[in-house]
Structure 1
Amino acid sequence: MMKTILLVPTEIGVGLTSACLGLIYALECQGIKAGFLKPFSQELQPEADRTTALYRHLFKHETVEPISYAALTERLKNDENDELLEDAVRLHREISKHHDVIIVEGVLPNGRDPYATELNATLAKALDAKVIIVSNADINNAAKTAAKVDNQLRFFGGATCERTAGVLFMRTKGLPEDSAQIPVTLDPNLRLISDTNRFVSAIQTTHPMIGKDCMPVIGLVPFSNTLSVPRMSDLAAHISAEWINQGEAKQRRVLHSSLIASNIEHEMHKFVAGELIISGSDRVDVLLASSLASSNGIPLAGLVLTEHQAPSTQALEFCQTAIKNGLPILHTKLSTFDTAQQLLNLSNEIPVDDTERAEQVTRFVASHINADWLTQLISDAHKPRLSPSAFRHELVQKSIAAKKRIVLPEGDEPRTIQAAAICQSRGIAHCILLAKPEAVVEVAKARGIELPHDLEILDPDLIRENYVEKMVDLRKGKLNELQARDQLQDTVVLGTMMLALDQVDGLVSGAVHTTANTVRPAFQLIKTAPDYSLVSSVFFMLLPDEVYVYGDCAINPDPDAEQLAEIAIQSADSAKAFGIDPRIAMISYSTGTSGAGADVEKVAKATEIAKQRRPDLLIDGPLQYDAASVESVGQSKAPGSPVAGRANVFIFPDLNTGNTTYKAVQRSANVVSVGPMLQGLNKPVNDLSRGALVDDIVFTIALTAIQAEQQAAQ
């Protein structure tokens, strides 16, 4: 049964867009593909709606454009309310063709549109929607917070009405500082259960129905300074400024700002990562200090020069290194004081092109929503599937539960340091960085990375000698002490020895090393698992609606039929380990007996071997890719196949096909790929792309931790 949930704000500025997107993400983590509808736009400019555009980007789902503000006001002016609601129902029906649950963004009750609350009430009836009240909250003023919610509830039949589903408190102030400052790259369970219970108890002294089963508090989302920060590119128009150097203005965020008024020697402590420096344009010393800080690796948010004229060409020539490093520099004719005042009034709304912030806010909100409440609300519409969001969510949760030690040989690489800090602070894994501690601290300081107190950093020079004799024993007859000592200069080899001796549970490398550098020591020291004769790899392809497994796309150039069958079995077991019920397609240029040739025969033979070895698996082949993945094509080309048209594990006949296909899908369809994850080794070792993002490294660490847990359980 299709369900519709309407989010209704108590006032402007409650974070309605963030609430809608966060709820959709939370549903995705429950395996539910939620649609989004904003029936009515309140934007004066006739351009693409902001929330709608963010939804399309974040979730890769299509939706409809809202009824324009001009059309909305025209209908209301002509007393065409029924026609207006019919238009809203039409848009709703368009989306309901493709979704089981639809999240609807209500109308904001701003001073300009007095009809908002009444329109929300009639919209709920027209769409037969459950209603969630969205309000900001003050922990220290429960009565005032509850009164705002109660004022809205009256328009929907009160807290006991069947239509009302709950209340979501956004931008909650008065919580402990640390709850609002949590870094948000992933989505672990951040729910503030004890804070929520205390706040509900306080509310119920004046409004006893709020917080009961009929009107539950479904989430308490803290106000977060770290998620309310603009980019440098968002400032220019707001302070009537022109660019001297735009640089990395779309990447750098203003964590805090400082006015530089006194002698520069008393202001040097302000030149830190994320700082916006504001000063008069005649202060050449400030310009030079900002340039020096940037040249020393301190990523300032940017520099705003006020009043007077822009700095001279001669002054800017001394700043070329900082300019090349991307330091954004603005000039405004406003005074320094007026500039600071204008920036204080900058809107908290997420700009339509700030997708990084939108992703972080979405995950942050989702992590504070009660998952049990969600399951109960949509239980009769719940059709479990492993969506990309659910895959990422499960990945984090399973790795947290595993509590594994993962060694990172590239310990002084900036992305690796940041990923390790995230994993350590979230409990995703206990990370060990192999690097000089002072080098790690220096990189962290320059990049504004806060190193957790329990993050382990091991100096390779201090531990290397411990492994020489043991490495000679492991590779008896193949190298002597001198050769072992030389090879252990490579931190990947050193980390692999730690894994071989069970001092760590897994290894992740490849941010600066090649695949061969990462894999070769594992082949020599870890070796293959007893049940397998080879090592292969899989990628988890996070398509918009489902997660596919691709194997082998990284290791074996031209496997024979026996090896291909083993790759299929390894990949099926990997899929199961990560919550995917495998339906395995053995890919070829021919479906069934439609084509002939040695390559087709190899795939056919591999399919039979795999079926004999693992009769418990759903496996079929040879299948062309379209026959494996498209239901209508599968029914036509391979009628009766248990896999055709619904495969989720794709086994490619050789590395040329596999690697080309995964990269074509990844780049052409803008699909996130997690991997390669190596399979078949005695202990987990995983390779990174040298272009890996911080999130990619975090997810790979989580994968490795889960692999270690799976192997320990066998």
Structure 2
Amino acid sequence: MTRSVYITGIGRGDGRQVVELGVMELVTRQVDRVGVFRPLMHDGPDRMFDLLRSRYRLSQDPATVYGMRYEEAASLQAEQGTDELVSRLVDRFHAVARDYEVVLVLGSDYADTQLPAELSLNARLANEFGASVLPVVGGMHQGAESVAAEVRNAHHAFTAQGCDVLAMIANRVAPDAAKEAAEQLAHRLPVPVYVLPEEASLSAPTVAQVVQALGAEVLLGDDAGLARNVLGFVFGGAMLPVFLPALTPGCLVVTPGDRADLIIGALAAHSAGSPAIAGVLLTLDERPGTDIVALAQRLAPGTPVISVPGGSFPTAAELFTLEGKLTAATPRKAETALGLFELHVDTAELTGRLSVVRSERVTPMMFEHELIERARSGRRHVVLPEGTEERILRAAEVLLRRNVCDLTLLGDESVIRKRVADLGINLGLDTEDHRGSAVARIIDPQTSQLRENFAELYARLRAHKGMTVELAHDVVADVSYFGTLMVHEGLADGMVSGAVHSTAATIRPAFEVIKTSPGAAIVSSVFFMCLADKVLVYGDCAVNPDPDAEQLADIAIQSAETAAQFGVEPRVAMLSYSTGTSGSGADVDKVRKATDIVRERRPDLLVDGPIQYDAAVDANVAATKLPGSKVAGRATVLIFPDLNTGNNTYKAVQRSAGAIAVGPVLQGLRKPVNDLSRGALVQDIVNTVAITAIQAQGESRV
């Protein structure tokens, strides 16, 4: 039977889109086929469904998502009664439900719906759909006592109509009232209650939304700049010495277009990171000269400068009515929303109450979701040596918004801050109250007080190679060595690098300083190959060119342990160009010997070899080539005989089968250090940092 969750409110302005996004995140971690149903809709685009469809790669036909328009529903209810309206919506819901394991139902929005007793209608629909209800209560501009009373009243209203209430959520509660409201509601209701504080950046419009609302012309700025949140407005009329102290982080400067001093002053302050602004809006249809425009572009590349024909007063009137929306075009807001949801909702508890049976299939998205969730569950601290690299900074923003781990960025602080300002991202570097969320800091190895201590430490560690403190003083200023020494000394739990550094530059310091873990003969690597319906582990495809039988056995054992750590049941196939006893020769003999060593050292592991790739993964081929094997046809960990075979195979599968390759993930080190491909995308970096954090969780339990 399809499981369905009905998310509804009790009035307008509750910001329930955050909850809808959060619940979709939870269910897509568990199952592959998730549908969406909105019983009642307004004319025009559905921003929330568009966001869910793009973010979670939903294949659902949009035409099946909707029951009927509000006007049609109101007319039907007035003419034929509520029973007929409900009956038709139930039929349309079941047409969707039969195709999906879980259906997320998005309740009515109480906005010009012309429907009487709207809460009761939502409650009845939920009951008729067989859906559990997750009510969301808006808490804007209310004190803690008022929020608590609203939640209790809403719970009574839904349970009185026979609804199965999963939990209660109070959203958009003033931060100074959220904690007290949560305390007042704790253990007062028979279901969990979660309180989400108001997050200013979610209700803030982006510069692009300002452009669209005002019909503004974009004079300067790139897509990243237009995606910045407008957290406030500063209206420029004073002279520059008075104007500059009034600037606030994320503000949109509104000034007549002939005030070149304020334009250049605001952009210069942004470039210095004090503070980083959202952009500049010019009024009165005045445009600065070409020389000023050119200077502005050099000062703060990417920062939006937009123009409107109206004056400051009518422009201000329009600006103050704008409110940000979660849309497919605002992915950073989505990350913020998920971070807020996951920080204040006990996701494990709510997932348990959802009672969703996990699919046997594991899609790439489910695997990525699992990485993020596991990393968040025991937050660790990861150092990123390439702190000035754009992809690293963008990944850092995602990691912090999702509360995946705490971060240290290495590099010149002024350069990093300027880069952050130019990119228009928010790492919370100057925020003191993080309310338990992940934090980032910057360390410059050149000027850090740790440099002297690290030089002495490195000199001791490498004294047998003739290293002196004087030479070490220069070595440890290198970001890769500095980051590795932070991990060695417990100042960070793991390190991720390689977006702009070579593999050798990333892992050489780890070989010298951190070294191999007890029981590991060598350092090796695996890739998690995320296919359409499962995850396979490939090793070693990145480190060891031609391992001997002992080393190959070590790689197999390490890879099996890594697979188990990340939820992949290890069934190990030792790959060769022949299967079983059908072939001979030095290469096959090496694999056969390695298989015997694995069986001797780890009799608990399911392992078979030599075996060809097709026999390892295809049950029909396995039945012919290696009948009776517990691994053949079901292998999850595939060990390649050498780097040439492994590296080419993973790339062939990645490109030809459309698989997502996560890695390389290093194994065999005492503490986790992982290498990135220099072509790594932002999501690749996020995944690798999450993996590193999970490895660090494992290290802490050893």
Range class of TM-score, shorter chain: 0.7 to 0.9
Which of 528, 553, 556 is equivalent to 2:544? 556
C-alpha contact 2:67 2:92 (8 A) present in aligned 1: no
Distance 1:417-1:437 versus aligned 2 partners, 3 A rule: same
The residue aligned with 1:277 is 253
Is residue 2:143 matched to residue 1:140?
yes
**CA distance in 2 between partners of 1:151 and 1:526 (Å):** 56
2:227 is matched with: 251
Tell me the SS of whatever aligns to 1:559: coil
1:58 aligns with 2:37: no
Counterparts of 1:549 and 1:32 in 2: how far apart (Å)? Answer: 21
The CA distance in 1 between the partners of 2:246 and 2:584, in whole Å, is 71
Partner residue of 2:14? Answer: 14
CA distance in 2, matches of 1:639, 1:128: 47
Query: Please, which of 299, 310, 316 is the counterpart of residue 293 of structure 2?
Result: 316
Q: Distance in 1 between matches of 2:614 and 2:145?
A: 57
SS at the partner of 2:139? strand
Please give the residue correspondences for 1:458-607 in structure 2 after superposition, counting only pairs within 5 Å.
Answer: 460=446, 464=451, 466=453, 471=458, 473-481=460-468, 484=472, 487-496=475-484, 506-540=494-528, 548-586=536-574, 606-607=594-595
Shift in Å at residue 533 of structure 1? 2.4
Q: CA deviation at 1:409?
A: 5.0
* Offset, 1:219: 1.7
Cα drift, residue 123 of structure 1? 2.9
Aligned-partner residue type, residue 213 of structure 2: H
**Whole-angstrom distance in 2 between the partners of 1:114 and 1:632:** 59
Following the alignment from structure 1 to structure 2, what is the Cα–Cα distance between the partners of residues 109 and 421?
34
**Aligned counterparts of 1:566 and 1:322: Cα–Cα separation in 2:** 54
Distance 1:238 1:548, change over 3 A: farther
**Out of 392, 404, 413, which is 2:372 matched to?**
392
DSSP-derived class of the 1:532 partner: coil
Change (3 A) 1:126 1:593: farther
Cα separation, partners in 2 of 1:550 and 1:55, compared to 1, 3 Å: farther
Partner residue of 1:225 out of 194, 200, 204: 200
Q: How does 1:37-48 map to 2 (within 5 A)?
A: 37-40=36-39, 42-45=41-44
1:90 partnered with 2:95: yes
C-alpha distance in structure 2 between counterparts of 1:27 and 1:283, whole Å? 52
The residue that corresponds to 1:3 in the other structure is 3
Shift of the alpha carbon at 1:349? 2.6
Residue aligning to 1:108: 109
Q: Name 1:208's counterpart in structure 2.
A: none
Query: Which amino acid is the alignment partner of residue 284 of structure 2?
Result: E
Q: Is the 8 A contact 1:10 1:148 kept in 2?
A: no
| CA shift for structure 1 position 495 | 4.9
SS at match of 1:516: helix
Structure 2 distance, partners of 1:611, 1:380, is 38
Q: Report the TM-score when normalising by structure 1.
A: 0.79
Structure 2: distance between partners of 1:88 and 1:374: 24
How far 1:512 sits from its partner (Å)?
4.1
| 1:252 partner letter | R
Say which is worse superposed, 562-571 or 671-680, in terms of deviation.
671-680
What is the CA–CA distance in structure 2 between the aligned matches of 1:11 and 1:548, rounded to whole Å?
Answer: 47
CA distance in 2, matches of 1:436, 1:313: 33
Q: Partners of 1:16 and 1:109 in 2: how far apart?
A: 12
Deviation at 1:480, TM superposition (A): 4.7
Cα offset, 1:510, TM superposition: 3.3
Tell whether the 8 Å contact from 2:575 to 2:639 is kept in structure 1 after alignment.
Answer: yes
CA contact (8 A) 1:603 1:621 kept: yes
Alignment map for 1:83-482 (pairs within 5 Å) = 83-95=88-100, 99=101, 101-114=102-115, 117=119, 119-137=121-139, 140=143, 142=145, 146=149, 150=153, 154=157, 158=160, 161=162, 163-173=164-174, 175-176=175-176, 195-199=181-185, 211-213=188-190, 216-248=191-223, 249-271=225-247, 273-296=249-272, 299-322=276-299, 325-371=301-347, 373-379=349-355, 381=357, 387-400=367-380, 449-450=428-429, 457=443, 460=446, 464=451, 466=453, 471=458, 473-481=460-468
Q: Deviations over 1:334-372 (max 9, x none)?
A: 221222221222244312322231233134224323346
Amino acid at match of 2:215: S
Deviation at 1:84, TM superposition (A): 4.1
| Letter in structure 2 aligned against 1:392 | I
* Aligned-residue offset at 1:6: 1.3
Contact 2:2 2:98 in 1 (8 A): no
Q: Shift in Å at residue 428 of structure 1?
A: 7.3
The CA RMSD over aligned residues, in Å, is: 4.5
Q: Secondary structure at the match of 1:131?
A: strand
Q: Look up the match of 2:435.
A: none
Distance 1:588 1:341 in 2: 72
Distance 1:707 1:629 in 2: 27
Residues in 1 aligned to 2:524 and 2:419: alpha-carbon distance in whole angstroms: 34
CA contact (8 A) 2:14 2:171 kept: yes
Is the Cα contact below 8 Å between 2:48 and 2:327 reproduced in 1?
Answer: no
Distance 1:16 1:637, change over 3 A: farther
Q: Distance in 2 between matches of 1:39 and 1:421?
A: 32
CA contact (8 A) 2:270 2:421 kept: no
Structure 1 position 483, deviation (Å): 5.1
Contact 2:615 / 2:622 at 8 angstroms: preserved in 1?
yes
Query: SS of 1:330's equivalent?
Result: strand
Counterpart-to-counterpart distance in 2, 1:501 and 1:112: 61
What is the letter of the counterpart of residue 321 of structure 1?
R
Kindly provide the CA deviation profile for residues 231-257 of structure 1, in whole angstroms up to 9, marking residues without a partner as x.
221221201212223423443222222
SS of the residue 2:99 aligns to:
helix
Q: Matches of 2:622 and 2:193 in 1, distance apart? A: 43
CA distance in 2 between counterparts of 1:634 and 1:51 reads: 46
Gapped runs of 5+ residues in structure 2?
A: 433-438
Post-superposition CA distance 1:600-621 (Å, at most 9, x none): 7655654444333322123345
Distance change in 2, residues 1:476/1:366 (3 Å): closer
| Aligned residues of 2:252 and 2:277 also touching (Cα < 8 A) | yes
TM-score (normalised: structure 2): 0.80
- Aligned residues of 2:408 and 2:442 also touching (Cα < 8 A): yes
Conserved 8 A contact 2:496-2:673: yes
Other-structure match for 1:204: none
Please give the per-residue CA displacement for 1:536-574, whole angstroms capped at 9, x wherever unaligned.
123445678765544323212343444333212112212
- Number of residue pairs matched? 674
Q: Give yes or no for contact 1:26–1:367 (8 Å, CA) kept in 2.
A: no
Secondary structure of the corresponding residue to residue 279 of structure 1:
strand
Q: 1:354 to 1:408 in 2, by over 3 A?
A: closer
Shift of 1:260: 0.9
- The CA deviation at 1:144 is 7.4
**Structure 2 CA distance for partners of 1:39 and 1:320, relative to 1, 3 Å:** closer
Percent identity between matched residues is 35
Deviations 1:169-212 (A, max 9, x none): 22223x328x7xxxxxxxxxxxx6x64231468xxxxxxxxx43
Query: What SS does structure 2 have at the residue aligned with 1:171?
Result: strand
| Change beyond 3 A, Cα 1:590–1:478 | same
Query: Would you say the 8 A contact 1:2–1:381 is kept in 2?
Result: no
8 Å contact kept, 2:202–2:324: no
Structure 1: which amino acid aligns with 2:23?
Answer: L
Residue 619 in 1 paired to residue 607 in 2?
Answer: yes
Where in structure 1 are there 5+ consecutive unaligned residues? 180-191, 202-210
**8 Å Cα contact 1:291/1:321 also seen in 2:** no
Give the AA of the match of 1:165: L
- Tell me: CA distance 1:365–1:64, structure 2 relative to 1, closer, same or farther (3 Å): farther
CA distance in 2, matches of 1:290, 1:539: 47
